[in-house]
Amino acid sequence: MGTLLMTGASRGLGREAAEQLLRDHPDQHLLLTVRGANGDRLATELAGKTGNRNVSTVSADLASFADIRKAVQEIERRIDVGELPPLTGFLGNAGLQMVSTTRATEDGFEATFGVNVLANYLLLRLLFDRFERGSRIVVVGSDVHFGDFKHSGGLIPAPRWTTVAELARPRPGGVREGRRAYATSKLAVLYLVHALARRLPDGVDGYTYNPGLVPGTGLVRDADPVSRFAARTVLQLARATPFAMGPVAAGRLLAKTAMGPRPGASGSYLDRGKAVPSSPESYDEAREEDLWAAAAQLCGLPAEVR
C-alpha cells in the first residue's frame, strides 16, 4: 500500500479522476491538497460516493511557497509516524489560466507560471527523496504548447519562451497575453518533466499528461463573461468530436495514467494516456536545464538534487 499525492481534485476532471482512483484502487491511499478549510468536506464526499475511506487531505495554497512547505512538512510527519503509507505517486492536476499577466502569487511571481510550474517544481523537489521505488509522477500539461491551430483552435496564442526570470515576473498584458502565458507554462511543464526524469532514480517514472480539450473543468473560471458562456455552450458541442471529451471520461483516463499499466518510458508525453512526441520546441535540453536551475533559485533551493 502506498500514498498518491494529488493536486487539483476539487472539481472537473480532477474530481472525476479522484473518484475513479478510489474505486479502482481501494488499497491505495489518496492524499489531496486542498486550499482553505474545505478539506474534510471533500474527503467525506469522496469517501461517501466511492465507499473507500482511504482518502485524506492536507491544506495547501499552491500560490504560496510557505503553504507548500508547510504542507510537505505535514505530509512527511504523517508518513514518519505511520499515519500515511510511503509515498508512491504524484498527480499534479492543479492549474491556472488567467485573463492577464498582472496577477501575482503570494511570493510575487506571475500567477500562471507560479502555480503551473513553480508550485509543481517545489512540491517535487521537497518530496524528491520520499518517492519509493515503483513510484509514478504525472504532471498535467496541454497540447496548446504546440502553438498551432490544430491543437488550440486559434483560441490560445503560441507559447513565447524568453528567460525564466521574465516568465516568472508579473507584467502588463490582457486576455491574449494571459492565454499566451498559459501555453508557455505548459511548454515549461514539459521542460520540467524532462529535467526531472533525468534526475529520478531507477524505478521512479515521470510523465507529462495531456487531457486534450475538456469543456466543463472550471479552467476558465477567471475569464470574462463571454468566454465563460462560450465554455458552457459552444465548447460543450466539441464533445461530439474526436478532439474533446467530458470530465468523466477524461478523469477516468487520467486515473488510469496515474495508476494503470506503465504507459511508456520515463519522460514521455502522454496524449490522453498514449505516449506520443510532443512539439519539436519541447525538446530543448538547454532550456530544460536552465528552467531547473532558475526554478531552484526562485524557490530558494540548490540546483542539484542530493
Q: Is 133 left (phi over 0), alpha (psi -120 to 50) or beta?
A: beta
| Alpha carbon distances (Å) from 148 to 35, 191, 234 | 34, 19, 20
Which of these, 274, 9, 5, lies nearest to 132 by C-alpha position? 5
- Separation CA 250–CA 273 (nearest Å): 10
Which of these, 10, 32, 29, lies nearest to 91 by C-alpha position? 32
Q: Which amino acid is at 104?
A: A
Q: Where are the domains of the chain?
A: 3-299
- Separation CA 169–CA 162 (nearest Å): 11
Q: Cα-Cα-Cα-Cα dihedral of 248, 121, 295, 223, to 10°?
A: 30
Rg (CA), the chain: 18
Please state the pTM of the whole predicted model. 0.91
Residue 180 sits at the vertex; the CA angle it makes with 163 and 285, to the nearest 5 degrees, is 40
Q: Give φ, ψ of 87 to 5 degrees.
A: -80, 125
pLDDT attached to residue 41: 93
pLDDT attached to residue 153: 86
* Residue pLDDT, tens place only, 180-236: 999 999 999 999 999 999 999 999 999 999 999 876 555 444 545 544 444 444 444
Tell whether the torsion through CA atoms of 260, 138, 3 and 204 is positive or negative. Answer: positive
In 168-284, alpha helices (H): 175-199, 225-232, 234-237, 247-259
Which of these, 65, 87, 69, 91, lies nearest to 78 by C-alpha position? 87
DSSP state of 157: P
Name which CATH class applies to 3-299: alpha beta
Angle (deg, nearest 10), helices 285-299 and 175-199 = 100
**Average pLDDT per run of 10 along the chain, which is 306 residues long?**
96 96 97 88 96 97 98 98 98 95 98 98 98 98 96 93 98 96 98 98 97 67 49 45 74 95 97 96 98 98 90
